[in-house]
Amino acid sequence: MLAVAVGSAALAALCLASVAHDDLGMSSYTIRSDALLTALLVFGMLMIGLFSKRLGRGGG
């Protein structure tokens, strides 16, 4: 199940990058930096959610 989700996300990212580069005229550097920033934000949100669940269970 996780492999399907990761594969779907990668395919969607490639399609969006292609549209942004070919149709909207964005540079590869801009697309790459925005993708890295977004990945960092998603990772941060996942970590906050993981640790908030762990701290919530231990406190009460």
- List, for residues 1-58, the tens digit of each pLDDT value: 778 888 888 888 889 999 999 999 999 999 999 988 988 998 989 888 888 877 776 5
The CA distances from residue 38 to 3, 41, 43, 45, 58, in Å, are 20, 5, 9, 11, 31
Q: What is the pLDDT of residue 58?
A: 52
For residue 38, give its domain range: 2-58
Query: pTM for the full model?
Result: 0.64
- List, for residues 36-49, the tens digit of each pLDDT value: 898 899 898 988 88
Count the domains in the chain. 1
Q: What is the pLDDT of residue 57?
A: 61
